Amino acid sequence: MNSVTTANPGLDLSAQTAGGITIAELTGDLDIASAPALRGQLLSLLRPGSSQLVIDLSKVSFCDATGLAVLVSTGRRARLLGGFLRLAAVSPEVGQVLNVTGLDRHLANFPTVQAAAAGVQGAQHGKAATGRAAEEHCGHAGPPRVPADASELRGAAAALLACVDEWQDADPSRRFTPALRAMARARDGADDSALDTAARSLLSALARHPLTFSPAVAATATRLRQAINPVARLATI
């Protein structure tokens, strides 16, 4: 059995190989900030004769479309080498993004690591189960939403809008343009609740559409998320 542990910004990877199958456990945020390093780390686990990969996502606390795109590209590479990539124990946060992006149709999803390793067909979740999990997660009331700190939010918005050219370069299809414009209008106004709404709309777009990696985009997206999510902000202190 071989094992390896590596760390990305906000994301840890622990992998072990046994019986020809590599189990990689991710812990933390699977997002645009961690995507480039994770891509290299996952590809390094694949080689001819050792290309069967199971990704344990039970400990992923945040996910966006750019992070999931890394799994899709890794899966393509695994298949080219004659192997596979299977997802296991998908957390609600990941399940929600799988559902809204439609990537649940392209990534095999199993309820446990053991089921994924065995490839038990009856245990595969598929689109319907992933969609139900996401709907249950979205529909769960949970604790009340904590309002963002106004000064933190305005600082994060200002930093992001100062890098608007980088955001546009990372988004050639211009899917983020309406959300960026809404944030600029809200930032220029005095209504903090409008800015909060615009920021959440931008983060919602991040969950639906992947971006080309940019350090400035990754940094400002992370800062914005931490500004509107006190739990995420405290976790980095």
Domain CATH number, residue 96: 3.30.750.24
Q: Which residues pair with 84 in a beta bridge?
A: 52
Same domain flag for 54 and 123? yes
pTM to 2 decimals? 0.84
The whole-number pLDDT of residue 19 equals 85
User: 86 with 155, same domain?
Assistant: no
Position 78 scores a pLDDT of: 96
- Whether residues 22 and 43 share a domain: the answer is yes
Same-domain check for residues 158 and 184: yes
Q: Do 105 and 35 fall within a single domain?
A: yes
Mean pLDDT to the nearest integer, 174-200: 95
The number of distinct structural domains making up the chain is 2
Residues 217, 182 share a domain: yes
Q: Give me Rg for the CA atoms of the chain.
A: 18
Residues 15 and 126 placed together within one structural domain of the fold: yes
Of 116, 64, 65, 49, nearest to 87 by C-alpha is 116
Residue 28: both structure tokens together: 């933390």
Domain contains 145: no
Mean pLDDT of 222-235: 75
Cα separation values, 131 from 85, 125, 142, Å: 20, 10, 19
One domain, residues 129 and 186: no
CA neighbor of 14 nearest in space, from 2, 28, 24 = 24
Predicted confidence (pLDDT) at residue 9 exceeds the cutoff of 50: yes
Q: How confident is the model at residue 236 (pLDDT cuts 50, 70, 90)?
A: very low
Q: pLDDT grade, residue 151 (50/70/90)?
A: very high
Any domain includes 144: no
The Cα 197–Cα 202 span in angstroms is 9
Reported confidence tier of residue 49, pLDDT bands at 50, 70, 90: confident
pLDDT at 136: 44
Domain region containing 215:
150-235
Do 82 and 33 lie in one domain? The reply is: yes
Please tell me whether residues 38 and 120 are part of one structural domain.
yes
Last residue of a domain, one of 82, 109, 139: 139
Q: Rounded mean pLDDT of 20-48? A: 95
Query: Which contacts of 18-22 are long-range, i.e. CB under 8 A and separated by 24 or more positions?
Result: 19/117, 20/50, 20/52, 21/52, 21/53, 21/54, 21/117, 22/50, 22/52, 22/53, 22/54
Is residue 69 pLDDT above 70, yes or no?
A: yes
Same domain, 159 and 96: no
Does the pLDDT of residue 211 top 60, yes or no? yes
Q: Give, as one character, the DSSP assignment of residue 31.
A: S
Q: Do 27 and 118 reside in the same domain of the chain?
A: yes
CA-based nearest residue to 38, from 61, 84, 72, 89: 72
